[in-house]
């Protein structure tokens, strides 16, 4: 079928697995073609094609509420809900949003551009549903990178306590933007790599397939299977089970038979369920499949045949690269660079490779990154926290209460400041000046060029106070000069306008 002719997901219920596999290939081809022209989030969407199709086949959107965490991986969802014909306008002015958007479609039951909000929001929808005495399902799709964020621990703790009927799909592709880090990620990795995984899953699948219908008998069978899997994979108990959430998996995220089997089973369980799904980020496009640096997570226009990304500014580099290179040039033993899972986005890979002992990736945990920096500063270290402007607001309390209030020497590199265009309103870096200005002790600055960027980092290193350096996502000419410290409170006159007179009123 022609992808642009899809109006709603109802047609999926009539398709067999062979037809669904053909549809998956067509959708991947469509995504590669369209994103190659407009740019966008490619790898994450290629990885959830079968999963999204299966969700829409088993559930009934928009009655059933489907929330995609971050929602940058909702392109397939948009296609299946009748928006394929708009993909030429993806991430363009007045065009299709790159994220779920409530005003765009009745099928978008929530919207966000930041990670780890889906579980709390889904629980709110589920509790509201119960209060309204309605019977629809609520499904949250969240990645293994996002679920490690502190907000999710708070949500999981509450979900387990309320026992509300809620389906969580953990999309585990072993990646967020960069390679995932942290104890929970390592825990999931152990499950993926268990040597008996394939054999046990084969037996599990055979048992499940013999269940004539999903009902009380199936529920009892599922409970027994769950217990066996728990004993096999995690000898001392699994974190989700300990929190009171039914855990099933891991299952094959590109196998329609397996996906539908578990999704249908989850519908019948009267309580919170987490289905652990293994997918391959970038599946179906070799350049994205082989990507380990996050290059194909969010990409500009590119040649789909060669994988060469179109770039009209080949003689320029990003502000992030200038900042990273300046840190390398000014490096000393006390500087520690911290990133909340944005090593690739903030161009810090070279720094990590050169100074692995002075580099900390804390995962998707902005609040923790800033508190960690505060503690390091008290031990005489000079932490540099690289963080996007739109993500900095998540750490406002930590900046105000734990850094600025006690005047700790922390440098915050505020990346992606100003208008970010195609990423839309969730990512605009236009609020940081407003919410930082009232904070005492804090110094805010922005370089006009690459020379001043290096000079401001040198100034920040030598200034024992909270020091914020703002820079955009644009590109610029990189000119190197001898680093010079800039006196705090000084200025230079770039151009004098003789026709304008300042007056004190």
In DSSP notation, 303-356 reads -TTT-PBP-S-TT-EEHHHHHHHHHHHT--TTEEEEESS-TTTTT-HHHHHH-G
Q: Select which of 258, 321, 366, 398 is catalytic.
A: 366
Structure tokens at 211: 């269940």
Q: In sequence order, what are the residues at sequence separation of 6 or more whose Cβ sits closer than 8 angstroms to the Cβ of residue 115? A: 69, 70, 143, 145, 146, 149, 176, 364
91 is catalytic: no
Q: Match domain 3-189+239-299 to its CATH number in 3.40.50.300, 3.40.50.261, 3.30.70.980, 3.40.50.970.
A: 3.40.50.970
What's the confidence (pLDDT) of residue 309?
83
Residue 103 buriedness (CB in 10 A; 0-12 / 13-18 / 19+): exposed
394 is catalytic: yes
Q: Is 385 left (phi over 0), alpha (psi -120 to 50) or beta?
A: beta
Judge whether 438 and 467 are in contact, CB under 8 Å: no
CA nearest neighbour of 407 among 461, 335, 467, 466: 466
Q: What is the pTM of this model?
A: 0.83
What span, in angstroms and rounded, lies between the C-alpha atoms of 42 and 478?
Answer: 29
Structure tokens at 413: 């590199």
Residues in the chain: 505
What's the confidence (pLDDT) of residue 188?
55
What's the confidence (pLDDT) of residue 8?
95
> Which pLDDT tens digit goes with each residue over 226-281?
444 444 444 333 688 888 999 998 999 999 999 999 999 999 999 999 999 999 99
Judge whether 2 and 26 are in contact, CB under 8 Å: no
Q: Select which of 83, 281, 283, 347 is catalytic.
A: 281
Q: SS3 of 169, please?
A: strand
What's the confidence (pLDDT) of residue 499?
60
- Start and end residues for every CATH 3.40.50.970 domain found in the chain: 3-189+239-299, 317-476
452 is catalytic: no
Helix (H) or strand (E) holding 172: strand 166-172
Q: In sequence order, what are the residues at sequence separation of 6 or more whose Cβ sits closer than 8 angstroms to the Cβ of residue 92? A: 38, 422
Q: Are strands 317-318 and 475-476 parallel, antiparallel or unpaired?
A: antiparallel
Domain 317-476 fold: Rossmann fold (3.40.50)
**Per-residue pLDDT tens listing for the chain (505 residues):** 799 999 999 999 999 999 999 999 999 999 999 999 999 999 999 999 999 999 999 999 999 999 999 999 999 999 999 999 999 999 998 899 999 999 999 999 999 888 999 999 999 999 999 999 999 999 999 999 899 889 999 999 999 999 999 999 999 987 645 555 555 555 555 554 453 444 444 444 554 554 445 444 444 444 454 444 444 444 333 688 888 999 998 999 999 999 999 999 999 999 999 999 999 999 999 999 988 777 888 888 999 999 988 876 668 999 999 999 999 999 999 999 999 999 999 999 999 999 999 999 999 999 999 999 999 999 999 999 999 999 999 999 999 999 999 999 999 999 999 988 787 788 889 999 999 999 999 999 999 999 999 999 999 999 999 999 999 999 999 999 999 999 998 888 877 765 654 443 3
Q: Select which of 226, 347, 394, 458 is catalytic.
A: 394
């Amino acid at each position: 079928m022609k992808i642009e002719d899809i109006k709603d997901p109802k047609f999926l219920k009539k398709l067999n697995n062979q037809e669904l596999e053909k549809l998956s290939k067509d959708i991947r081809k469509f995504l590669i073609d369209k994103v190659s022209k407009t740019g966008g989030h490619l790898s994450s969407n290629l990885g959830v094609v079968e999963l999204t199709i299966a969700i829409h086949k088993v559930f009934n959107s928009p009655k059933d509420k489907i929330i995609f965490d971050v929602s940058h991986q909702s392109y397939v969802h948009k296609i299946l809900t009748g928006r394929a014909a708009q993909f030429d306008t993806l991430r363009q002015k007045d065009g299709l949003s790159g994220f779920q958007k409530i005003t765009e479609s009745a099928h978008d039951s929530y919207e966000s551009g930041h990670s780890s909000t889906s579980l709390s929001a889904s629980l709110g929808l589920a509790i509201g549903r119960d209060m309204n005495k309605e019977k629809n399902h609520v499904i949250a799709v969240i990645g293994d990178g996002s679920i490690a964020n502190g907000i999710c621990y708070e949500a999981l703790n509450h979900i387990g306590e309320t026992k509300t009927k809620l389906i969580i799909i953990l999309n585990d592709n072993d990646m967020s933007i960069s390679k995932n880090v942290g104890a929970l990620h390592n825990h999931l990795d152990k499950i993926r790599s268990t040597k008996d995984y394939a054999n046990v899953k084969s037996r599990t699948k055979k048992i499940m397939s013999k269940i004539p219908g999903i009902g009380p008998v199936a529920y009892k069978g599922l409970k027994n299977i769950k217990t066996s899997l728990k004993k096999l994979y995690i000898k001392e108990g699994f974190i989700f089970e300990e929190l009171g959430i039914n855990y099933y998996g891991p299952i094959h995220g590109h196998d329609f038979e397996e996906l539908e089997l578990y999704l249908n089973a989850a519908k019948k369980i009267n309580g919170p369920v987490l289905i652990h799904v293994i997918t391959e980020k970038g599946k179906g496009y070799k350049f994205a499949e082989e990507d380990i640096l996050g290059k194909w997570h969010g990409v500009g226009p590119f040649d789909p045949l060669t994988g060469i990304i179109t770039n009209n500014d080949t003689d320029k580099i990003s502000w992030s690269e200038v900042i990273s290179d300046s840190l390398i040039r000014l490096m000393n033993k006390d500087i520690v660079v911290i990133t909340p899972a944005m090593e690739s986005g903030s161009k810090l890979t070279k720094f990590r490779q050169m100074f692995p002992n002075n580099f900390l990736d804390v995962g998707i945990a902005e609040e923790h990154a800033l508190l960690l920096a505060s503690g390091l500063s008290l031990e005489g270290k000079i932490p540099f926290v690289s963080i996007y402007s739109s993500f900095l607001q998540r750490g406002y309390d930590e900046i105000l209460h734990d850094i600025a209030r006690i005047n700790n020497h922390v440098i915050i590199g505020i990346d992606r400041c100003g208008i970010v265009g195609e990423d839309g309103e969730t990512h605009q870096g236009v609020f940081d000046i407003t919410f930082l200005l009232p904070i005492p002790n804090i110094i805010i600055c922005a370089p006009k060029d690459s020379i001043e960027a290096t000079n401001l980092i040198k100034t920040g290193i030598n200034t024992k106070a909270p020091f914020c350096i703002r820079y955009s996502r644009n590109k610029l000419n990189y000119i190197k000069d001898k680093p010079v410290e800039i006196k705090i409170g000084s200025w230079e006159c770039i151009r004098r306008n003789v026709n304008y007179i300042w007056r004190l009123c």
